[in-house]
Structure 1
């Protein structure tokens, strides 16, 4: 019999241990070899030449690699990005050396360690949503969209009547929604902002009844601290901020005061980026820092890459391809692609014919590790999520 050669995919230390153990290696060998089986590429930004040269020298000395700008060696550039390439074993040795170095490199070692830990994967956890809770990480959760706006791009005006809105929410829960996301202000392209009193006029008649009508958490989709406060007082459980605390910094204090989880969505004016994924990750870190300074625990934060916001079609598709890069933040990820323009512009279809396109984005998102999908078509997307989870998360599927 000839020797067979094939590749296997190793995503983290746990998988490496399992593969090495399956070979029949002894326990000590498994423990020593697993960090050598996981390879990571990390990108550092804003590194000065002195720091870059030390990092490169130390990484090369451990058998890894570090790419820096040509001008960093002779100091002809003020800053450089650094692309580190190595195994977990090599990173451990690098961090040990950096902790002994000046020029801020000891602190950098801690940052590298945190990112490497985040890339090992998010464990299932329970998210306290005030009087209710969600388990994140066991299966993909479905957030059903409930717009009480006259001008939303997909369903504007359909649920303006509070009774119709409540009926739709109940139906979404019956169809498999784990969260209901209530919004009173459209964010479609070209929308006009509305005053706080108008947003409250739209959402409060629904919020006065909704939490008691359904047994899943209710999210309030707003950028305004005043609206969020009234919503939480009425029984809402989560705040979904499409400007990630940039539109109203007081929103962070409201979330902290009510101990409410926050969804922070990436958004910006225009579509210019220096390094799109790097810029997005820096944006999230800044928003999380704002939330933490206000007293909101990091464990209460969920991030949303903001598909369709501040991005061209090509940029939206690139984010979808690179969703895994958000893992470095170590936070649960919500994906909102339902019926959006990337589907319209790719398939050239109106809003009411984008179910299949939405399904493709939901499946790709789940395969990339997202925890929550925000959708209009709850029944269909719950089925897509369950099927994708069976392949990606390898959870047991009930018989029948």
Structure 2
């Protein structure tokens, strides 16, 4: 009939909206909603016995499972791709929970993934009486580098007066968070010492904490984090994913401070090839999350960042933007920092100060794929893009 068309339904909220538009009896929702969304879930390193059981069970429920050829001949472990609706998964989970070969653990993992991928709102309690609301709209984190050698704006805000002025400008332009970095993380830079980093930070922080600004500190050092948190900072943005300084995690736990865990192989495992880029990053972020929670940091205080520009290839960085939604499986808010980075310059053939349009494209793509926070240099333009993208993604229909 005229007007018939394919409809893309991304989640259960959108599925419910479509049913309401059609005029479906609400009593049918519990039966229809589990069939409305189709999900592919990639399981890693499943034994050949487990893979064969999963395939048989998923097929019997009306779903599908792709397993490696060697699993059929008794070789393994290997990866498994599950394909099905929520209904298929719920039926599968009942069976897996009573199966051997570690499938009870696999069932729990699938349950956690399915629970994590639905959009949700969250409030993170910050030190010093502030809160961070996530999920209502995309938050904008403005970058303030008070360093002489950052790749984009090094040297511009070394003077505390200039730094404070720029922070206020970014807040006026729409920044929800100001991320202050006092030690450059540029690959070829010489990292400032602890004392120098603290001495750069505190004069700027002392003037900003009196204002209604949420302050994030870009540091991987425990001692710097302690000084910052004790002087009014609210969030620690750790580019080392708890790997570069063993003193950081105890400080986070003691202060119960929210942390951004950014994936980064550059300092720890530089040159080590990825077997499966997205899966490897998810695995390493899971490990960092586990260590933080085991040490006493509440899971709801953790934000993840896949680390665009840190130890990834040009294609890898672009793939992370494309596949950002995969990181929803972690069940944590996602921060993305692509602003002005070299992969944009390499893609467009542009120098660092000509990368605005590429950065804004990355912002829009990231938001459409599930980013909760965007970390940017160009706050005014990025805020407008975020507002427009949010409006599109949240539109009814």
Counterpart-to-counterpart distance in 2, 1:64 and 1:249: 45
- 1:265-296 Cα offsets, whole Å, 9 max, x none, are 11112362100000011011011011101111
Give structure 1 regions of 4+ aligned residues with deviation exceeding 4 angstroms. none
Q: Which residue of 2 aligns with 1:166?
A: 164
Tell me how far 1:335 sits from its aligned partner: 0.9
Q: Map 1:68-217 onto structure 2 (within 5 A).
A: 68-75=67-74, 77-121=75-119, 123-131=120-128, 132-212=130-210, 214-217=211-214
Matched position secondary structure for 1:209: helix
Give the conservation status (yes or no) of the 8 Å contact 2:34–2:86.
Answer: yes
Q: Which runs of 5+ in 1 are unaligned?
A: 396-400
Q: Which residue of 1 aligns with 2:242?
A: 245
Give the conservation status (yes or no) of the 8 Å contact 1:146–1:169.
Answer: yes
Give the conservation status (yes or no) of the 8 Å contact 1:53–1:73.
Answer: yes
- 1:330-385 Cα offsets, whole Å, 9 max, x none, are 11111111111011111222222211111111111111121111111111111111
Counterpart-to-counterpart distance in 2, 1:40 and 1:350: 40
Matched position secondary structure for 2:157: coil
Tell me how far 1:3 sits from its aligned partner: 5.5
Tell me how far 1:186 sits from its aligned partner: 0.8
Q: Which residue of 1 aligns with 2:290?
A: 289
Q: Which residue of 1 aligns with 2:356?
A: 355
- Cα 1:271/1:354, change in 2 over 3 Å: farther
Counterpart-to-counterpart distance in 2, 1:71 and 1:251: 44
Q: Which residue of 1 aligns with 2:299?
A: 298
Matched position secondary structure for 2:158: coil
Give the conservation status (yes or no) of the 8 Å contact 1:271–1:312.
Answer: no
- 1:313-343 Cα offsets, whole Å, 9 max, x none, are 1111111111111111111111111111011
Q: Which residue of 1 aligns with 2:257?
A: 260
Counterpart-to-counterpart distance in 2, 1:286 and 1:184: 27
2:226 is equivalent to residue 225 of structure 1: no
Give the conservation status (yes or no) of the 8 Å contact 1:139–1:393.
Answer: no
Aligned length: 391
Q: Which residue of 2 aligns with 1:22?
A: 21
Q: Which residue of 2 aligns with 1:386?
A: 387
Give the conservation status (yes or no) of the 8 Å contact 1:179–1:216.
Answer: yes
Counterpart-to-counterpart distance in 1, 2:261 and 2:394: 25
Counterpart-to-counterpart distance in 1, 2:26 and 2:36: 15
Tell me how far 1:237 sits from its aligned partner: 0.6
2:233 is equivalent to residue 236 of structure 1: yes
Q: Which runs of 5+ in 2 are unaligned?
A: none
Output the TM-score relative to the length of structure 2: 0.95
2:376 is equivalent to residue 367 of structure 1: no
Output the TM-score relative to the length of structure 1: 0.94
Q: Which residue of 1 aligns with 2:51?
A: 52
2:269 is equivalent to residue 272 of structure 1: no
Matched position secondary structure for 1:143: strand
Counterpart-to-counterpart distance in 2, 1:192 and 1:270: 20
Counterpart-to-counterpart distance in 2, 1:361 and 1:312: 16
Give the conservation status (yes or no) of the 8 Å contact 1:271–1:310.
Answer: no
Q: Which residue of 2 aligns with 1:398?
A: none
Tell me how far 1:4 sits from its aligned partner: 4.6
Counterpart-to-counterpart distance in 1, 2:309 and 2:19: 42
- 1:240-286 Cα offsets, whole Å, 9 max, x none, are 00011011233122112111110011111236210000001101101
CA RMSD of aligned residues (A): 1.5
Counterpart-to-counterpart distance in 1, 2:144 and 2:108: 42
Matched position secondary structure for 2:209: helix
Give the conservation status (yes or no) of the 8 Å contact 2:47–2:101.
Answer: no
